[in-house]
């Protein structure tokens, strides 16, 4: 079996000064969050203007693998993971096994991310995906998208017990996705997409907490919750059709209806509502929570001429950041 960096780095001619980079985008859910956990459809877009990056820096023989999460000021060896880095360590070990490497590579894997943590934008899945890409590039052992997806999903399961699988698929494939758990994912082109703005409440909430809240509600009132999930699923089907058939005018009412159901599920917090109202008052035809909720981000449709006014209104209402969703891949580097 091949060994990676176990003898000397000259065995890896592809490296530029011993550095190899892997990247991955974030993700935005248009419709269907939470309901998707229970098997109902959802629609998501990749988010290329926020990315995670991992740099493989080769090290001397005997060094082993060290993962350095530079933003978190944390590092870990594969034998001794710090609790925060467990998903990255699991991903590295799984990637080594999937690539058929005999030993762990001698390297430092430096991980950075522009994606804010615990804000519903897929930061966890993106850093893991970037790390796996850097490792497989350095080893010259390509892992196809299915293999990458398997590894990222396995790590996601450490972060919350029953991830639907939508985050990892959107991030790994970097394409708009119509997704239903247990069914073949449908990647599609969305030609006439409106401008979407994301506004950050500045409140970080782990996905697991929001998912647990919805699970409690479902336990207390299963029939009502399933009814809401079903409505959300229908909204996602209609969203998928509207995007495929380039009917952007249909998107607004769908997003607003989805938001109403997210309110009933209890995941739209005061901070979310403040930003949603600000977006609507500033001319947006529709705004909703995106991702797990209880803070995190809201997503709003923006008419081009209203973008500046919406940006100002959202910041005045407390948004810590406002950005446009760039869902089309700008460069092949994000999909390698």
- Backbone dihedral angles phi then psi of residue 114, each to the nearest 5 degrees: -90, -10
CB-nearer residue toward ligand MEV: 211 or 235: 211
As measured in angstroms, the least distance from the Cβ of 303 to ligand MEV is 27
Task: Note whether 204 and 72 are within 8 A (CB).
Answer: no
As measured in angstroms, the least distance from the Cβ of 277 to ligand MEV is 22
HSE-up of residue 214 (Cα within 13 Å, Cβ side)? 26
As measured in angstroms, the least distance from the Cβ of 179 to ligand MEV is 9
Provide the sign of the torsion angle of the four alpha carbons 267, 162, 37, 82, taken in this order. Answer: positive
The residues of the shown chain that bind ligand MEV, judged by CB under 6 A, are 29, 33-34, 36-37, 120, 163-164, 166-167, 207, 210-211, 291-292
CB-nearer residue toward ligand MEV: 89 or 205: 205
CB-nearer residue toward ligand MEV: 44 or 99: 44
Q: Specify the 3-state DSSP secondary structure of 270.
A: helix
**How many CB atoms neighbour CB 171 within 10 A?**
34
As measured in angstroms, the least distance from the Cβ of 88 to ligand MEV is 19
CB-nearer residue toward ligand MEV: 230 or 336: 230
Give CA angle at 35 (32, 37), nearest 5°.
Answer: 110
Residue sitting closest to ligand MEV (CB): 164
How distant is the alpha carbon of residue 22 from its chain centre?
A: 16
C-alpha torsion 115→255→33→129, nearest 10? -30
CB-nearer residue toward ligand MEV: 51 or 137: 51
As measured in angstroms, the least distance from the Cβ of 29 to ligand MEV is 6
Question: How far lies 214's CA from each of 34, 221, 288, 292, in Å?
Answer: 7, 10, 17, 10
How far is 279 from 276, CA to CA, in rounded Å? Answer: 5
CB-nearer residue toward ligand MEV: 55 or 207: 207
As measured in angstroms, the least distance from the Cβ of 292 to ligand MEV is 4
């Amino acid at each position: 079996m091949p060994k990676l960096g176990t003898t000397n780095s000259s065995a890896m001619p592809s490296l530029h000064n011993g550095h190899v980079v892997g990247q991955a985008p974030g993700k935005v859910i248009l419709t269907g969050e939470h309901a998707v956990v229970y098997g109902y459809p959802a629609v998501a877009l990749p988010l290329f203007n926020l990315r995670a990056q991992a740099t493989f820096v080769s090290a001397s023989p005997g060094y082993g693998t060290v993962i350095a999460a530079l933003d978190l000021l944390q590092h870990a060896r594969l034998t001794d993971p710090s609790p925060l880095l467990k998903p990255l360590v699991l991903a590295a070990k799984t990637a080594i096994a999937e690539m058929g490497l005999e030993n762990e590579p001698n390297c430092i894997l430096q991980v950075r991310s522009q994606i804010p943590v615990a804000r519903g934008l897929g930061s966890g899945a993106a850093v893991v995906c970037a790390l796996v890409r850097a490792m497989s590039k350095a080893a010259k052992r390509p892992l196809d998208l299915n293999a990458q997806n398997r590894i990222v999903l396995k790590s996601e399961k450490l972060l919350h017990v029953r991830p639907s699988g939508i985050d990892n698929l959107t991030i790994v494939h970097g394409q708009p996705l119509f997704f239903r758990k247990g069914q073949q994912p449908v990647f599609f082109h969305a030609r006439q997409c409106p401008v979407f703005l994301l506004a950050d409440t500045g409140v970080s909430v782990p996905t697991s907490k929001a998912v647990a809240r919805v699970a409690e509600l479902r336990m207390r009132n299963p029939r009502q919750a399933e009814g809401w999930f079903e409505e959300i699923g229908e909204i996602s089907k209609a969203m998928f059709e509207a995007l495929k058939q380039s009917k952007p005018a249909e998107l607004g009412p769908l997003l607003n209806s989805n938001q109403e159901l997210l309110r009933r599920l209890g995941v739209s917090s005061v901070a979310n509502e403040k930003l949603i109202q600000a977006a609507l008052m500033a001319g947006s035809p529709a705004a909703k929570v995106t991702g797990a909720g209880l803070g995190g981000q809201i997503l709003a449709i923006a008419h081009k001429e209203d973008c500046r006014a919406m940006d100002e209104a959202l910041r005045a209402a407390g948004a810590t950041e406002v950005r446009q969703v760039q869902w089309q891949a700008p460069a092949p580097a994000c999909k390698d």
